Amino acid sequence: MEAKNPILFVGAGPGDPELITVKGQRALQNADVVVFAGSLVPAALLQWTGPGTETHNSASMTLEQIVQLMVEARQAGKKVVRLHTGDPSLYGAIFEQMVELDRHAIPYRVIPGVTAAFAAAAALGIEYTIPEVSQTLILTRMAGRTPVPDTEQLETLARHQASMAIYLSMALIGQVAPILSAAYGAESMCAVVYRVSHPEERILTIPVGDLVKTMQTEKITRHALIIVGAALSAREGRGDRRSRLYDAGFSHEYRKCGVHPEPG
């Protein structure tokens, strides 16, 4: 049996208020208290809250303050939403909040959201997993003030030459760029997607070798993703790569080779 009145961790999506899930939107509409990550979640997302909803920007709060606020509100019988940017499971710092809620015996659930890497793919018009080009997508970040395990250093992951979306690393572009150049080649194309789905969205598609110079010129130091990999430029000379799923010569459970059902 599901616990009554759990705290809801909700993925706000990448920024566009309409890219929140229907379930996330309903959670905001029904919430009595919303604690939102104001440094990343646009205020426009709060349009889905009700007229009497109490909102708190957690940007200047500590973990202890956030948890105390949520626990006290829930113990008072209020419906609480913790609103995170993108999808809460990715760089969302929800694990530590869950641990504290477990300690207080407070139930919670997670409503997923659209992460920036998928919004960026939509904006670029690309598929990360093209047959015979790339079947792997790596979501990662450069080690900085927050370290990464030794086995997940960017140099190690980049050697796979898979499709890669690099988060939270624009301030370290001087370290990122040479790693990508060594793995993918300085002439290979990459994309920098700034504040994807926001009104101020910008997309720059450039050779990896021009990353540092371009970011300095454009003054982009945060709120951007770096996308790299062969899938980014697959249309140039590789537009004939097809999956077997819709191949007329490939049989599977729903279609036999040579049998063409009528459309409609």
User: Do 125 and 200 share a structural domain?
Assistant: yes
- With contact defined as beta carbons under 8 Å apart, do 18 and 117 qualify? no
Using alpha carbons only, give the angle 16, 18, 22 rounded to the nearest 5 degrees: 135
In a domain, 169, yes or no: yes
- With contact defined as beta carbons under 8 Å apart, do 121 and 14 qualify? no
Whether pLDDT at 1 is above 50? no
Domain that holds residue 196: 116-238
- With contact defined as beta carbons under 8 Å apart, do 204 and 173 qualify? no
Integer angstrom CA distances of residue 80 from 54, 106, 164, 183: 10, 11, 35, 45
Averaged over 134-161, what is the pLDDT? 95
pLDDT in tens, 171-227: 999 999 999 999 999 999 999 999 999 999 999 999 999 999 999 999 999 999 999
- Entry pTM: 0.88
User: Do 123 and 93 share a structural domain?
Assistant: no
Count of domains observed in the chain:
2
User: Do 121 and 96 share a structural domain?
Assistant: no
In a domain, 205, yes or no: yes
Provide the 8-state DSSP code for 51. Answer: T
Point out the least confidently predicted range of 1-15, 21-35, 72-86, 98-112: 1-15
User: Do 215 and 126 share a structural domain?
Assistant: yes
252 strand-pairing partners: 255
List the CATH number of the domain containing 83: 3.40.1010.10
Domain ends where: 58, 87, 111? 111
| pLDDT band per the 50, 70, 90 thresholds, residue 264 | low
User: Do 227 and 133 share a structural domain?
Assistant: yes
Q: Which DSSP helix (H) or strand (E) runs through 241?
A: none
User: Which residue, 198, 240, 243, is CA-closest to 222?
Assistant: 198
List the CATH number of the domain containing 220: 3.30.950.10
In a domain, 251, yes or no: no
User: Do 232 and 195 share a structural domain?
Assistant: yes
